[in-house]
Amino acid sequence: MIPKETVDQILDTARIEEVIGDFVTLKRRGSSFVACCPFHNEKTPSFHVTPSKGIYKCFGCGKAGSAVGFVMEYEHMTYPEALRYLARKYNIDVQEEEESAEQIAARQRSESLMAVSEFARQFFCDQLRSGEGRAVGYQYYRSRSIEDATIEKWSLGWAPSGKATLVEAARAAGYKDEYLVAAGLAIQQEDGTLIDKFRERVMFPIHSVSGRVIAYSGRTLRSDNPAKYVNSPETEIYIKSRNLLGIYFAKSEIARQDRCILVEGNVDVVMMHQMGITNVVASCGTSLTEEQVRLIKRFTENVTIMYDGDKAGLHAALRAIGLILKEGMAPRVVFLPDGDDPDSYSRKHTLEEIQEFIRTHEQDGIAFKTDLLLSEAGDDPLKKANLINEIADTVADIPDAIRRQVYIDTVARRFGIEADIIQDRVRKTREANRPKEIRSASGLGMTNNESGEASVIPNEASVSPYWQGSILEPSERELLGFILRFGCSPLQFESDSEFYDADGTQTVAEFIDAALSGDDIHFANPAYEATYQAYFQLYDQGMAQDGIVLALMNGEDRAVASVAADLCTEKYELTVHNFSDALTTTDSWLVNFVPRAILVYHDKRITVQQKELSRKLQQASPDQVLDLMNQLGRLNEIKKTLNIKLGRLKK
The pLDDT value recorded for residue 167 is 95
Say whether both 575 and 503 belong to one domain. Answer: yes
Residues 559, 605, single domain; the answer is yes
C-alpha span between 650 and 332 (Å, rounded)? 51
Is there a domain that residue 479 lies in?
A: yes
The whole-number pLDDT of residue 323 equals: 93
Q: How far apart are CA 338 and CA 345, in angstroms?
A: 10
In angstroms, the CA 406 to CA 390 distance is 17
Which stretches within 173-260 are classed as H helix?
Answer: 177-182, 247-257
Tell me if 276 sits within 8 A of 232, measured CB to CB: no
Q: Among 109-113, 306-310, 415-419, 495-499, where is mean pLDDT lowest?
A: 495-499
Closest Cα partner for 87 from 107, 73, 67? Answer: 67
Query: What range does the domain containing 388 cover?
Result: 367-433
Query: Which of 482-485's residues contact partners 24+ apart within 8 Å by CB, and which partners?
Result: 482/508, 482/512, 482/590, 482/593, 482/594, 482/597, 483/508, 483/509, 483/512, 483/532, 483/535, 484/531, 484/535, 484/549, 484/552, 484/564, 484/567, 484/568, 485/567, 485/568
Mark residue 501 as left, alpha or beta (left: phi above 0; alpha: psi -120 to 50; beta: remaining).
beta
User: Is 244 inside a domain boundary?
Assistant: no
Of 43, 59, 89, the last residue of a domain is: 89
Residues 375, 402 within the same domain: yes
Q: Would 310 be classed as within a structural domain? A: no
Answer whether residue 344 is part of any domain. Answer: no
Instruction: Report d(CA 394, CA 321) in Å as an integer.
Output: 9
Which range has the worst mean pLDDT, 131-140, 369-378, 414-423, 457-466? 457-466
**Residue 225 vs residue 588, higher pLDDT:** 225
Query: Taking all residues of the chain, what is their mean pLDDT, rounded to a whole number?
Result: 83
Last residue of a domain, one of 198, 222, 238: 238
User: How does pLDDT run across 169-186, given as a tens digit for each residue?
Assistant: 999 999 999 999 999 999
Q: How confident is the model at residue 261 (pLDDT cuts 50, 70, 90)?
A: very high
CA distances from 569 to 109, 484, 578, 626 (A): 45, 10, 14, 49
Is residue 291 within 8 Å of residue 242, measured between CB atoms? Answer: yes
Q: How many domains does the chain have?
A: 4
Q: How confident is the model at residue 442 (pLDDT cuts 50, 70, 90)?
A: very low
pLDDT-based confidence at residue 447 (cuts at 50, 70, 90): very low
pLDDT confidence of residue 305: 95
Residues 358, 342: Cα–Cα separation, whole Å:
11
* pLDDT value, residue 453: 31
Which residues are registered as beta bridge partners of 457? 445
Final residue before a domain boundary, out of 181, 209, 238: 238
Find the helix or strand (DSSP H, E) in which 623 lies: helix 622-645
Residue 335 lies in a domain: no
Mean pLDDT of 379-389: 85
Label residue 128 by pLDDT band (50, 70, 90). very high
Question: Which residues, at least 6 apart from 392, have a Cβ–Cβ distance to it below 8 Å?
Answer: 408, 411, 422, 425, 426, 429
**Co-location of 585 and 450 in the same domain:** yes
Question: Do 181 and 209 fall into the same domain?
Answer: yes
In this structure, the number of other CB atoms found within 10 A of the CB of residue 583 comes to 8
- CA-nearest of 148, 272, 274, 255 to 209 is 255
Residue 431: the pLDDT is 83
Domain harbouring 408, CATH code: 1.20.50
115 and 12, same structural domain? Answer: no
Note whether 79 and 104 are same-domain residues.
no
DSSP 519: T
Q: What is the pLDDT of residue 199?
A: 94
Q: How high is the pLDDT of residue 574?
A: 32
> What 3 state SS string does 253-322 have?
HHHHHCCEEEECCHHHHHHHHHHCCCCEEECCCCCCCHHHHHHHHCCCCEEEECCCCCHHHHHHHHHHHH
User: pLDDT tens across 15-63, in order?
Assistant: 999 999 988 889 888 778 899 988 887 778 889 898 877 889 888 888 8
- What would the mean pLDDT of 481-493 be, rounded to a whole number? 87
Q: What is the pLDDT of residues 272-322, one digit of tens each?
A: 999 999 999 998 767 899 989 988 987 788 999 998 878 888 889 999 999
With beta carbons less than 8 A apart as the criterion, state whether 208 and 248 touch: yes
pLDDT of residue 402: 81
Q: Which of 385-394, 402-411, 637-646 has the weakest average pLDDT?
A: 637-646
SS3 at position 44: coil
Q: Is position 306 within any domain?
A: no
* 75/126 same-domain check: no
Residue 216 CA to residue 213 CA, distance in Å, equals 8
Structural domain contains residue 352: no
The answer on 120 and 55 residing in a single domain is no
The SS3 call for residue 53 is coil
Q: Are residues 49 and 167 in the same domain?
A: no
Least Cα distance to 251 among 86, 68, 77 occurs for 77
Instruction: Give the highest mean pLDDT range of 7-11, 173-177, 208-212.
Output: 173-177
Number of H helices, E strands in the chain: 30, 20
Tell me, what CATH number does 131's domain have?
3.90.980.10
pLDDT surpassing 70 at residue 449: no
Q: Is residue 469's pLDDT more than 80? A: no
Q: Given CA atoms 87, 88, 92, 96 in this order, what sign does their dihedral have?
A: positive
Bridging pattern class, strands 201-207 and 445-448: unpaired
CB of 608 closer than 8 Å to CB of 463 = yes
Q: For residues 9, 13, 17 and 21, what is the CA-based torsion angle, rounded to 10 degrees?
A: -90
Residues 505 and 633 in one domain: yes
Q: How far is CA 479 from CA 226, 508, 544, 592, 598, in A?
A: 63, 10, 19, 13, 7
Is 324 inside a domain boundary?
no
Who contacts 438 (Cβ-Cβ below 8 Å, separation ≥6)? 460, 461
Residues 388 and 517 in one domain: no
Query: Would the pLDDT of 437 be above 50?
Result: no
